[in-house]
Structure 1
Amino acid sequence: MDTAERDHRHAWATDLLDDLADRDVVAVAITWVDHSGITRVKSVPLDKLPDAAAHGVGASPVFDAFLLDDSIVSGRHAGGPVGDLRLHPDLDRITVLAGQPGWAWAPADRHDQHGDPHPQDERGLARTMADRLTVHGYEIKAGFEVEWAVGQAGTDDFRPATTGPAYGHARQVELSDYCVDLIAALAEQDVDVLQFHPEYAPGQFEVSTAPEDPVHAADTAVLVRETIRAITVRHGLRASFSPKVVADGVGNGGHLHVSLWRDGRNLFAADDRPHRLAADAESFAAGVLRHLPALCAIGCPSVASYLRLVPSHWAGAFAVWGVENREAALRLVAGRDLEIKPYDLSANPYLAVAATLAAGLAGIVDDARLPEPVGVDPAHVRHAARLPVSLEEAVRAFEDDDVLFEAFGPEFAATIADVRRGEIDRFADSTPEEIAHATRWRH
């Protein structure tokens, strides 16, 4: 980053100060998401935003080796006390937080002290993968579904804050003011909400946002989750985004929707093709399907993920695709997009986007073809391949996947594996109930 770029960023942030002050902003939260899926933060008073934009805010690279419980792995390329990074807020995404009066938020790009991108910057990797598709003439649009369970405060156990039935309007009535405040806060933050509704599990809700540029889609997923957290706390409740809130219950998903575009046309809406899949869209989907076992180490990255990723629970536990099949790992939403169902909210959304795009692009380059779609619950299909049944199995698939290894690079890929195995060791002797309890309020 040269002097001219630093001066530009400083001037840009300075121009924002008056408007932010007029909106009663006192400080700016600058966030990044670590390899374990935890949103971390450094904050600056409002008047320090120009300096933060130009020169960054110091943060140790040790966060690359953090586990979900804040313990630190001594990895091959991360985990030591030496070094410093700079967090540069993306001023394009600065947002006044409706659920936290006095605060604004911006996602961070992580650079070294010379202004060069950090090799393990998750947001930067997502941008790189999106740019690769742009070079091939494609545009990607993406969006996340965010599921969470609302529990009573004052306990680390999960006690649902509602008694209404799954998908029932009664549940929404019980928390009507909460729901209104949340939807209003998201709208005030310019989040384009497509749908909001009670979900299946006790106290569970879901919000879906409109498709956008994939990096911004990951930003929005972070903003949505932290807004949910803030509004929930303000109502005296607790929000859990864990893939398994209680060991014997239905977990929270974080499904990713992606569509492929060329020349303004959605290639998942080709009227002249079977299932409305243009050839390139089919290849993209086939690439994702081919690499799904390895993708689980990114999109299902916690030990708790594999308590959720089980057959006949609408989690997508089999490596198959289907048209509007909610038990298939890849659900083709006819004429719209591809939904990747195994992913959950212990995943870093930037890494989920990056890895998915890498797999899809590999499918396009290879002119990959999809097998026949599955039109029933794949649990009843002979020889339907299960996705990994444990995080260890997913990590082995990730380490053996040449496409993802190239996309991440050796240092980044090794650290992902080290962090995943650190969590595996952390829960080696834990029961499902102990795993659910330890992860319930972390993500």
Structure 2
Amino acid sequence: MDRRQRAERAEHIAADLSARGVRQVALTWVDNAGITRVKAVPVKRLSHAAAWGVGMSPVFDAFLVDDSVAGGTRAGGPVGDLRLMPDLDRLSVLAAQPGWAWAPVYRLTQEGAVYPGCQRAVAHAALADAARHGLEFRMAFEVEWFLGTADGFPVGEGPAYGMSRVVELSAYLDDLHAALDAQDVPVDQFHPEYSPGQLELSVGATDPVSAADRAVLVRQTIRAVSKAHGYRVSFAPVVVAGQVGNGQHLHFSVRAGGRALFSGGEGPHGLTADGESVLAGVLRRLPAFTAVGAPNVASYLRLQPQRWAAPWQCWGRENREAALRLVTGSTGEGEVAANAELKCVDGAANPYLVVAAVTAIAAASHGRGETLPPEVTVDPATLPEGRRPQRLPQSLPEAVAALRADDVLPTLFGPELLDAYCAVRTAEAAALAGLKPQGIVEATRWRH
């Protein structure tokens, strides 16, 4: 579609948006610190934005979680300009923000080429490459968040998973579900989570790029509904030092040639040979993936044993302390229900890089004949020390080193994005070095 066609399509969309009372469109991307950044345009300028994009500095590739800037990167300096190109197929009217619509963007150079640092484009490219190998993916994020009062105290005093919390928050939750429904976001389930003030929402699975888009939209909607009710919200990995933190677990399934790879086979719990190879490849590369899924200094306060964070490099059927959990579903529904859950993902992660990494690793592992090690069928922390599986990286610098040494993910990222991403994460680790857990939490609590 050329510029003229994009402009004409955007004009029709803008007319419909105006008729529905929309006056502004938020154009968002997620940076290397996991922060959703935005530029907004009036509806009347949507046609121009669709044709020519919206200018934005590449410096945001070097932004840290506190908005300081990492130095010494190939990308992310003050010189140059990019173009934010809205994806009109993903545009949504924001039900909880009257007068607003939203669309994710691709970032292009001024010459119209895909910018090497565009995380959404990296995810799209990974998906296209997997499709050339005959693979199809379905993915979905679970979103956990802390709901607090204006001064930060948890909202809801009931027990974990307690119905009393739902009763206390019934009006808030009804507004949230109504907003998501109006935005065509399918909700699979909701429940109050383990920690005080913690809630969790699971949405329907879709293709990987759309799953990442949906994660951004869901979090934005939660934030808007919470604000309308006078609440403060955090998706940070840890909100209170020493307590269970917020995850953003990824569920994924793979098909090849129309056949589900995680059910109907002769491998462990019905895995096909190709499905087992995919999961074995993912499991083997979890140390490198941790730099993508758990990319904040506070992430390593969350990745602790027996805190529902699964800090162990192991797998198991329905084992919630294993980083890779195999979900088979009830007997008879494996064809549609079987999937794998990556639990070493939290709310500081860039969802586009998460889905890109899993897609690329799965594609690289498919058909390789890899086999899984014996599954862990108990809480790994209860095993004798010599029999416990390996821990995932226990610090951000350790995870970044594993990422750089991996055989798949650096190629996926490309030199420019890898350099900027690792520079941001290394600078964040240096900035918070020496702080006690409480200080780390205070520095990151309200940034995500």
Which category describes the TM-score, using the shorter chain as reference length? Answer: over 0.9
After TM superposition, the structure 1 stretch with the greater mean CA deviation from structure 2, 369-378 or 274-283, is 274-283
Aligned position for 1:195: 189
What does 1:134-173 correspond to in 2, within 5 Å?
A: 134-153=131-150, 155=151, 158-173=152-167
Aligned position for 2:331: none
Contact 1:130 1:354 in 2 (8 A): yes
Shift of 1:406: 1.1
- Matches of 1:299 and 1:327, distance apart in 2: 16
Aligned position for 2:353: 351
Q: What is the SS of the residue equivalent to 1:402?
A: coil
Please tell me the residue identity of whatever aligns with 1:239.
V
After TM superposition, the structure 1 stretch with the greater mean CA deviation from structure 2, 377-386 or 95-104, is 377-386
Shift of 1:263: 3.4
Change (3 A) 1:383 1:199: closer
TM-score under structure 2 length normalisation: 0.96
* Pairing partner for 1:94 from 91, 95, 102: 91
- Matches of 2:76 and 2:342, distance apart in 1: 32
* Pairing partner for 2:405 from 400, 406, 427: 400
Aligned position for 2:79: 82
How far does the alpha carbon of each residue in 1:17-43 deviate from its partner, in whole angstroms, 9 at most, with x for none? 221112110010000000010000000
Please tell me the residue identity of whatever aligns with 1:396.
A
Please tell me the residue identity of whatever aligns with 1:305.
S
What does 1:25-104 correspond to in 2, within 5 Å?
A: 25-104=22-101
Aligned position for 2:290: 296
Shift of 1:264: 3.1
Matched, 1:329 2:323: yes
Shift of 1:79: 3.4
Runs of 5+ unmatched residues, structure 1? none
Aligned position for 1:428: 433
TM-score under structure 1 length normalisation: 0.97
Matched, 1:307 2:284: no
Contact 1:65 1:75 in 2 (8 A): no
Shift of 1:271: 5.3
Shift of 1:78: 2.4
Change (3 A) 1:304 1:341: same
Please tell me the residue identity of whatever aligns with 2:348.
S
Q: What is the SS of the residue equivalent to 2:7?
A: helix
* Pairing partner for 1:177 from 171, 176, 194: 171
Tell me the C-alpha RMSD between the 2 structures.
1.1
Shift of 1:272: 4.8
Shift of 1:383: 3.8
Please tell me the residue identity of whatever aligns with 1:430.
L
- Matches of 1:76 and 1:442, distance apart in 2: 23
Contact 2:124 2:356 in 1 (8 A): yes
Identity of aligned residues (%): 55
- Matches of 1:433 and 1:15, distance apart in 2: 51
How far does the alpha carbon of each residue in 1:343-402 deviate from its partner, in whole angstroms, 9 at most, with x for none? 001000000111111222222153321111111011233141000000011011111112
Aligned position for 1:243: 237
After TM superposition, the structure 1 stretch with the greater mean CA deviation from structure 2, 329-338 or 76-85, is 76-85
Alignment size in residue pairs: 437
Aligned position for 2:218: 224
Contact 1:123 1:351 in 2 (8 A): yes
Q: What is the SS of the residue equivalent to 2:147?
A: strand
Contact 1:171 1:198 in 2 (8 A): yes
- Matches of 1:410 and 1:79, distance apart in 2: 13
- Matches of 1:207 and 1:68, distance apart in 2: 24
After TM superposition, the structure 1 stretch with the greater mean CA deviation from structure 2, 258-267 or 298-307, is 258-267
Contact 2:137 2:254 in 1 (8 A): yes
Please tell me the residue identity of whatever aligns with 1:437.
E
Please tell me the residue identity of whatever aligns with 1:252.
N
Shift of 1:124: 0.4
Runs of 5+ unmatched residues, structure 2? 329-333
Contact 2:54 2:85 in 1 (8 A): yes
